[in-house]
């Protein structure tokens, strides 16, 4: 959607992203023992989706670079879930397939 020549997305996801970052920050503060100082600027949204009034985000934090956090909000149930994943492998494959 364009307004006065500038692109204006119909839904601004930033409040939801900020909420996801706050939840992950609180989770790390409660569940991870570390002496490192960190704040929400050290947590990054790497994927975000909003569908109706529900939303989901995948985040990572500098303090634990191999851990991913999947934050999912269900507006009908009025609950938010955090799933924590640990990347245990990264494989690069040669793929010459043309699409």
Please name every residue paired with 86 in a beta bridge, in sequence order, or none if there are none. 67
Report pLDDT digits (tens) over 1-44. Answer: 445 555 555 555 578 999 999 999 999 988 887 777 778 888 99
Whether pTM exceeds 0.85: no
The lowest-confidence range among 15-19, 37-41, 64-68, 74-78 is: 37-41
Instruction: Kindly tell me the burial class for residue 42, based on how many C-beta atoms sit within 10 Å of its own C-beta (0-12, 13-18, 19 or more).
Output: middle
Over residues 35-63, mean pLDDT: 89
Could you tell me how many residues make up the chain?
99
| Domain locations in the chain as residue ranges | 13-86
């Amino acid at each position: 959607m364009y307004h006065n020549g500038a692109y204006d997305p119909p839904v601004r996801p930033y409040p939801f992203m900020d909420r996801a970052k706050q939840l992950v920050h609180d989770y790390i503060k409660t569940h991870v023992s570390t002496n490192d100082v960190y704040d929400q600027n050290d947590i990054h949204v790497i994927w975000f989706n909003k569908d109706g009034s529900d939303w989901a985000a995948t985040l990572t934090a500098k303090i634990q670079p191999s851990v991913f956090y999947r934050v999912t909000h269900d507006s009908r149930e009025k609950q938010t879930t955090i799933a924590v994943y640990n990347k245990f492998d990264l494989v690069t494959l040669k793929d010459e397939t043309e699409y």
